[in-house]
């Protein structure tokens, strides 16, 4: 784990505060931790899908991507369907055709399609754990974290795409850092799961950064550092509600309870 974490810690500008870890360890916060983690996995897949649709593929391929994620979105946002049926929707059924006029299309497709597959697999794994622990999915509000990053994205191309890719890198890196921070304090089933997620997702932030550098065609170290400072401030600043990517909360929340956990 230390080998996997070294580049992640070098990339991030701060560690997760001890106060957040303390809140995450509280049994009453386990449901919201898992539910928000579940939603984060879907949002990561959605973000990658939107990048492919906007910047890399033709309209027909874009429609296939929408269809791929629709059952997951129906379950999370509209509470439609049985979660076990999502196992039948794990694969993309159409080959993505890259746009000819963008030189980075194929690499964007290759990296983001693989990321989507992994995120949807992890989404399903979280649902399996929630079922084992008798935690029912329910809607919760999102944290300010992702919005706080995307607020600083520039509004002209290719800077918009570069900034979105940098934001994606920080979100992925922070997720991995939190998997590692949580693992020592979780019961064995969850600890093993979080370590497996770290192994699976540790490279994602580097994929995002390489794509950003390729799109920019110039040095973007200063811009990466700018977002690193923004990300650290979001992580270190206090939040009103405990969430997977929140900052520390003044008082541990108890929105959900798991009998017997």
Residue 191, C-beta contacts closer than 8 angstroms, at least 6 positions apart: 182, 183, 184, 185
Question: Where do the structural domains in the chain lie, given as residue ranges?
Answer: 2-236
Q: Please name the helix (run of DSSP H) or strand (run of DSSP E) that holds residue 36, with its range, or none.
A: helix 30-55
Output phi, psi for 57, to 5 deg: -130, 170
Helices 30-55 and 159-182 meet at what angle, rounded to 10? 150
pTM of the model: 0.92
Mean pLDDT of the region 232-238:
97
The burial class, CB within 10 Å (0-12 / 13-18 / 19+), for 91 is exposed
* Closest of 121, 116, 139, 115 to residue 67, by C-alpha: 116
| CATH class as words, domain 2-236 | mainly alpha
d(CA 171, CA 68): 23
Residue range 26-83, pLDDT digits in tens: 999 999 999 999 999 999 999 999 999 999 999 999 999 999 999 999 999 999 999 9
* Closest of 54, 193, 67, 170 to residue 123, by C-alpha: 193
C-alpha distances in angstroms, 8 versus 22, 30, 90, 124, 218?
22, 25, 28, 25, 23
Joined together, the tokens standing for residue 18 give: 């001890």
- pLDDT for the residue numbered 151: 97
Q: Sorting pLDDT into bands at 50, 70 and 90, what band is 98? A: confident
Instruction: Tell me if 163 sits within 8 A of 153, measured CB to CB.
Output: yes
d(CA 120, CA 87): 9
Q: Is 129 helix (H, G, I), strand (E, B) or coil?
A: helix
C-alpha distances in angstroms, 87 versus 23, 120, 131, 244?
32, 9, 15, 24
Question: If you ran DSSP here, which 8-state letter would residue 87 be given?
Answer: G
d(CA 233, CA 131): 35
Output phi, psi for 98, to 5 deg: -70, 150
Instruction: Tell me if 13 sits within 8 A of 231, measured CB to CB.
Output: yes
d(CA 83, CA 124): 8
Residue range 150-180, pLDDT digits in tens: 999 999 999 999 999 999 999 999 999 999 9
- pLDDT for the residue numbered 251: 58
Q: Radius of gyration over alpha carbons of the chain, in Å?
A: 18
Residue range 170-224, pLDDT digits in tens: 999 999 999 999 999 999 999 999 999 999 999 999 999 999 999 999 999 999 9
């Amino acid at each position: 784990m230390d080998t996997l974490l070294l580049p992640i810690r070098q990339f991030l500008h701060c560690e997760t505060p001890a106060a957040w870890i303390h809140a995450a360890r509280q049994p009453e916060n386990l449901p919201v931790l898992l539910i928000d983690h579940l939603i984060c996995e879907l949002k990561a897949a959605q973000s990658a899908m939107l990048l492919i649709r906007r910047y890399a593929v033709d309209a027909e391929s874009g429609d296939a991507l929408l269809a791929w994620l629709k059952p997951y979105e129906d379950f999370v946002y509209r509470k439609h369907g049985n979660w076990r049926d999502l196992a039948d929707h794990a694969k993309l059924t159409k080959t993505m055709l890259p746009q000819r006029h963008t030189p980075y299309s194929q690499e964007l497709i290759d990296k983001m399609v693989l990321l989507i597959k992994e995120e949807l697999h992890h989404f399903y794994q979280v649902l399996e754990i929630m079922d084992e622990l008798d935690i029912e999915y329910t809607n919760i509000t999102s944290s300010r974290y992702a919005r706080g990053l995307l607020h600083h994205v520039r509004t002209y191309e290719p800077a918009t795409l570069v900034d979105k890719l940098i934001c994606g890198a920080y979100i992925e890196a922070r997720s991995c850092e939190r998997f590692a921070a949580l693992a020592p304090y979780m019961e064995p089933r969850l600890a093993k799961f979080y370590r497996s997620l770290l192994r699976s997702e540790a490279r994602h932030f580097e994929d995002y950064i390489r794509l950003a550098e390729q799109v920019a065609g110039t040095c973007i170290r200063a811009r990466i550092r700018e977002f690193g400072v923004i990300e650290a401030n979001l992580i270190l600043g206090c939040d009103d509600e405990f969430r997977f990517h929140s900052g520390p909360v003044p008082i541990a929340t108890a929105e959900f309870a798991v009998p017997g956990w």
